[in-house]
Structure 1
Amino acid sequence: SKGLDAELYYVRDNVVNHYALSFTLPVPSETNSLHFTWHSKTKVDYQLDFFMENPVAMNQPRSNISSQGEVPLFRVDLFCSGKVDGEAVLTMQLNLTIHANNYTVLNFKRRKMCYKKFLLCFVLIMCCLFSSVDGVTTPTTSTQVFYISVSVCCIVIFLVAIILAILHLHSMKRVEMEDSVSDSGSSQGLSQPSTQTTQYLRADTPNNAAPVTSYPSLRIEKNDLRSVTLMEAKAKVKDIAISRERVTLRDVLHEGTFGRIFHGVLLDEKDPSKEKQVFVKTVKDHASEVQVTMMLTESCKLRGLHHRNLLPISHVCTEDGEKPMVLLPFMAWGNLKLFLRQCKLAEANNPQAISQQDLVYMAIQIACGMSYLSRREVIHKDLAARNCVIDDNMQVKITDNALARDLFPMDYHCLGDNENRPVRWMALESLLNNDFSSASDVWAFGVTLWELMTLGQTPYVDIDPFEMSAYLKDGYRIAQPINCPDELFAVMACCWALDPEERPKFQQLVQCLTEFHAALGAYV
């Protein structure tokens, strides 16, 4: 909502970044100048033009350079007119000529919310009139009147500024509620499309949540998993352990080499007549102690976090002599990747089974959950459709990656370091240096968005996992899915920038996707 904090490159090494140019970036209402930097070893002639869609809201932009000449460093001033409340959309066109046969046109798009200043202007005018009249009628006290009137003006202006600041902070809090979380299972739909584009889905919306409990020692880093013993893993989940007698296993939903996921029923501790449906993750009899330990430790990745788009574990069964079981709240349509593939199979018979708007809505929910994790400084490291679940009202929740390697073996590869990793979902810095951050999660989100738009296809399926880092380093990316709008693919492409600092933040992705979702709804 505040624009990009990082530097954004539009042309680099004589290559135009068309993905970046396709975005209409927001300009905060308090920002009045945009700074552009150009470094070129050769002479480049330019011609600069501005095109406004709402000239009433914002004055004609001014640059600190002439409309044509040789490209320097320059600034563009964007001052609101103060006449109306509205969004001003600007296209800045830069025509570049290196020589007669090399002519390039760059269109920079910006949008800025402008607000009326009639109250402030009215106060200033009234103060000036008050000073003038008193100065004529009572010349002996003109100095006193002048100072009084100026003081009144300053007080009123200060009050108006305070009111505007409060309104601005209130609107920002709707977007950024860093400490507000939700553990409710009810679905939170998108807000209805509004005439103002600043209305968008919030990443962290309170939903009568219980107080957040932090379990920092339970989120075990990947590199520490192998050093944890089974006894230590059981001790860490002792406080949520329940009796196995309360759990009844029903259908097998998913099965791997050593792991299984069941649809189960959990009896209420105080009233056995009440029951709750759950997912039950467990292992087969031949599973090794290392595999059992990893299931328990990886299941704790999201424990203690409460958000409507997260699904942390609720209970475990770790009684001696029995294989451990991990319980999670049940979601009717199950694993998101399997659900998407079922939709693809059903597409021929029912093309309207799932719409593009539904898929974007799923992406927004995943971005909301990841935005919350980012604010809590939790790195997922394995975001993908296989690690999300969905219920029958299209609510999507992010889960941990416990048993994912066993249940989806084709999505993980060992690159010679004796560790199966989701190579096709990983950012370049993660592949090369094992460097994980919120920015690498953004990269994985871009691939997850691609999974949504392809209904569960495998990314980079034709690329050898050992060649992935070289492939990405050379600038290659997965192709635009069929029937995927250019605007949506541009969002994916921004997530795959080589420099982590150039990737968007999750909150920016929430805003962008929500506005795109609203635009899709306008055409339905």
Structure 2
Amino acid sequence: FPRNRLKFVDHLGEGKFGRVYKAEALSICKSGKWETVAVKMWKDTATDGEKEDFYHELMIVKKITHHPNVVSFLGTSKAQGSDSVLMIMEYVPAGDLLKFLRNKRTYYNQIELVNKTSDERVEPAQSNGSINGGLSGENSFTTSRQTEFSTFQPDLTPKDLLCFSHQIAKGLNHIASLKIVHRDVAARNVLVGENNICKISDFGLARDIEGSDEYERTTKGPLPIRWMSIESLRDNVHSTKSDVWSYGVCLWEIATFGASPYPGKSAKMAMESILSGENLSCPSHCKHEFYAIMESCWTTDPINRPNFEDLVHKLEEMLEAEGEYMMLDCFDEGIYCVIDETPSDERA
């Protein structure tokens, strides 16, 4: 894609060796208009090895055909002199799912505050010796509580969280059908678009397993310990079924509004927990039916884990049943501590 048809608008973020910008591209989707895109490039300080990783990611995203739940590759611009190759991707406006979920915690904190305040109000009514006085106090408390609830509304419902889970499974099923293993499935690598559509992104660690069922890691580099399967940590083996394990951890992140897995544990302790078969516990507000899906993803033997097609069908059934699988009014943020970012020493 010609560079002279790109206008850079804003800096969106950066990693160890790459930067991402919001830009306008003239007719990159054949509309004849300037279209908003995201452009990824390497930094001036990138090493030859990091540039090679960038080219590898570019080859992966080129292979991925269009799917509504995967960020679309739109084009590339060749390197000019010392300038980076440009990877031009679909722009997804609401950012990553991890931050999106954490920003939605406010409502449920208000619920908890109202509940605590309500308990304090009930005490005087209960201490009143008159039965009629007690009933009157209870009714006035209910009215007051309803008034407070009416002042704020939840941005996300249990059905929304189930929809996120379903969409992510559909995107990963598409990637798996192309014989690609992602190796970094996590809420931070899912982007949220218009109408809360989730899209799989960040293929920096992805590998093409065409002609094989798995990828054996032979080089050292950062990998996300808390999301990794037993066989990936123990044997350096990665497959679609290890992506399924990571997806189970992503479901736990969704259920806890972006809590960090294995909270309070160091990377070494988290690894020991995973290798010893100690799974993440069921969130107190999460019903067994939803947690059972997570548990199925964490089956020790990869062969016995569901595939993404199975997971898509299961989540469709749950959506059609219209049950509430998370009691969000009982969400207690204090239990699910948040680590702002995954430190570099927690990736091995």
Q: TM-score, normalised by structure 1?
A: 0.48
Contact 1:382 1:444 in 2 (8 A): yes
2:85 to 324, 327, 333: 324
**Distance in 1, Cα, partners of 2:4 & 2:158:** 44
The question of 1:449 aligning with 2:251 is answered yes
Aligned residue for 1:267?
26
Contact 1:278 1:328 in 2 (8 A): yes
**Distance in 1, Cα, partners of 2:185 & 2:159:** 21
1:476 to 261, 269, 278: 278
The number of residue pairs the alignment matches comes to 272
Contact 1:244 1:319 in 2 (8 A): no
Aligned residue for 2:75?
315
Q: TM-score, normalised by structure 2?
A: 0.70
* Pair 1:257–1:378, CA change in 2 (3 A): closer
1:394-417 alpha-carbon deviations (Å, 9 max, x no partner): 21111233399xxxxxxxxxxxx7
Aligned residue for 1:277?
36
Q: Aligned runs of 1:67-146 on 2, under 5 Å?
A: none
Aligned residue for 2:158?
356
1:84-135 alpha-carbon deviations (Å, 9 max, x no partner): xxxxxxxxxxxxxxxxxxxxxxxxxxxxxxxxxxxxxxxxxxxxxxxxxxxx
1:326-350 alpha-carbon deviations (Å, 9 max, x no partner): 1111122122222222223565465
Describe the SS at the equivalent of 2:194.
coil
Task: Extract unaligned runs of 5+ from structure 2.
Answer: 111-151, 207-218, 326-348
1:67-93 alpha-carbon deviations (Å, 9 max, x no partner): xxxxxxxxxxxxxxxxxxxxxxxxxxx
The question of 1:460 aligning with 2:262 is answered yes
The question of 1:291 aligning with 2:50 is answered yes
Higher helix share: 2
Aligned residue for 1:19?
none
RMSD over aligned Cα, in angstroms? Answer: 2.8
**Distance in 2, Cα, partners of 1:315 & 1:479:** 43
Contact 2:176 2:240 in 1 (8 A): yes
Contact 1:302 1:400 in 2 (8 A): no
1:390 to 192, 196, 204: 192
* Pair 1:338–1:301, CA change in 2 (3 A): farther
Aligned residue for 1:371?
173
Contact 2:79 2:86 in 1 (8 A): no
**Distance in 1, Cα, partners of 2:68 & 2:245:** 22
Describe the SS at the equivalent of 1:510.
helix
**Distance in 1, Cα, partners of 2:30 & 2:187:** 36
Larger of the two Rg values belongs to structure: 1
One-letter amino acid matched to 2:322: L
**Distance in 2, Cα, partners of 1:360 & 1:444:** 17
Aligned residue for 1:431?
233
Q: Identity of counterpart residues, as a percentage?
A: 32
**Distance in 2, Cα, partners of 1:316 & 1:423:** 32
1:31-61 alpha-carbon deviations (Å, 9 max, x no partner): xxxxxxxxxxxxxxxxxxxxxxxxxxxxxxx
Describe the SS at the equivalent of 1:442.
helix
Q: What is the CA distance between 1:495 and its match in structure 2?
A: 0.5
Task: Extract unaligned runs of 5+ from structure 1.
Answer: 1-241, 405-416
* Pair 1:343–1:295, CA change in 2 (3 A): farther
Describe the SS at the equivalent of 1:446.
helix
Q: Aligned runs of 1:236-251 on 2, under 5 Å?
A: 242-251=1-10
* Pair 1:292–1:347, CA change in 2 (3 A): farther
* Pair 1:391–1:521, CA change in 2 (3 A): farther
Contact 1:244 1:317 in 2 (8 A): yes
